[in-house]
Amino acid sequence: MTRTLPILTIVAAIIVFWYAMTVVMNSKWTYDQASRAGVEVSFSEMVADTLAQDRPVLPAPHQVVAEIWKTTAEQKVTSKRSLVYHGWVTLSATLLGFAIGTALGISIAIGIVYSRVMDGSVMPWVIASQTIPILAIAPMIVVMFNSMGVTGLLPKAIISAYLSFFPVTVGMVKGLRAPEGHLLDLMRTYNASRLAVLWKLRLPASMPYLFASLKIAMAASLVGAIVGEMPTGAKAGFGARLLVGSQFGQPLTIWSALIGAAVLAGLLMIVISVIQRATLKRMGMAT
């Protein structure tokens, strides 16, 4: 209980703050409407109005919950109005990109650790790539692939893959190099081949680093998929909903997509944590 109480307190404080801001930010509209109709509004009427507007500047938490309920439980999962459908579109791009990025990251990492040429020429670029705002060229990547006739899932997955390969590469390079000198010496006394050292020593030792990177990579992959959906009139996915809500001035659409993305992010993190704990426990490396 002592561990959850502070978290619950903070979450409660956030919700209270949210409600307060809802009243404050929507009040202008209420007063404008009232003065135009020549009517006086009492404080409690104003509060009630701010919490139930159609196009609020800031929707109240219960409004967002209602919207989410409307677009999930009350819709068929395959309907284009269902948040679950959009979530699935984003999720599929995320997972594909994540898989590609992770595979790429591990391969590059192995290359960097085993080849001095790669270490010297590629690793600096891997690091430099982190400072370049790749996310910003998402629209261009989508256009480029569309011009080549590749549409839909793959361009978004490529963006996600690019964003997720970096943390995996950096983490795996650190992990593959983690075994201490005396363990490598031990393998030499066994006359172990390079493949054996990789498989039996370096890869197992890098598991904790890998899982830490996978979480970052998954979060980055999700962001990549969402941003990949945002420009050029994409029709489906959370990013598309954000765009639609923004273009048509429907805050509730934006907020439900945002919360949906947050829930998806949370779920993905939990899945990785569970896999991490199970794997590391089996390997005796659970902390």
Partner 1 sequence: MMHWLIMALGVWVAALAVNIELSSQRGFLAQLAMPVLFGAALIALWQGVVVGLNVSPIVLPAPSAIWGRFWAETPTLWADFQQTFIGGALSGYIMGCGAAFIVAILVDRSPFLRAGLLPVGNFIAALPIIGIAPIFVMWFGFGWESKAAVVVAMVFFPMLINTVAGLQSVDAMQRDLMRTYAANYPQTLLKLRLPSAGPFIFNGLKICTTLALIGAIVAEFFGSPIVGMGFRISTGAGRLELDMVWATIAVAALAGSAFYGVVALIEKRATFWHPSQRR
At what angle are helices 153-176 and 138-147 packed, to 10 degrees? 120
Residue pair 89/237 in contact by the 8 Å Cβ criterion: yes
Q: What is the dihedral of CA 38, 40, 46, 49, to 10 degrees?
A: -40
Interface residue list for partner 1 (CB under 8 A):
3, 5-11, 14, 25, 57, 116-117, 119-125, 128, 130-133, 135-140, 142-144, 147-148, 215, 219, 222-223, 226-227, 230-232, 238-239, 242-243, 245-246, 249, 251, 254-255, 257-258, 261-262, 265-266, 269
Q: Which is nearer to partner 1, 246 or 279 (CB)?
A: 246
Q: Which is nearer to partner 1, 167 or 208 (CB)?
A: 167
Q: Which is nearer to partner 1, 55 or 200 (CB)?
A: 55
Going by C-alpha positions, the residue among 127, 114, 109, 123 that lies closest to residue 209 is 109
Q: Where are the extended beta strands (E) located within 26-130?
A: none
- Give the list of residues 6+ apart from residue 237 with CB closer than 8 angstroms, or none: 86, 89, 90, 93, 156, 225, 226, 229
Residue pair 32/49 in contact by the 8 Å Cβ criterion: no
What minimum distance in Å lies between the beta carbon of 257 and partner 1? 7
What number of residues does the chain have? Answer: 287
d(C-alpha 242, C-alpha 255), whole Å = 8
Q: Which is nearer to partner 1, 137 or 178 (CB)?
A: 137
What minimum distance in Å lies between the beta carbon of 254 and partner 1? 5
What minimum distance in Å lies between the beta carbon of 282 and partner 1? 25
Residue pair 40/34 in contact by the 8 Å Cβ criterion: yes
Q: Which is nearer to partner 1, 127 or 186 (CB)?
A: 127
Q: Which is nearer to partner 1, 37 or 148 (CB)?
A: 148
What minimum distance in Å lies between the beta carbon of 260 and partner 1? 9
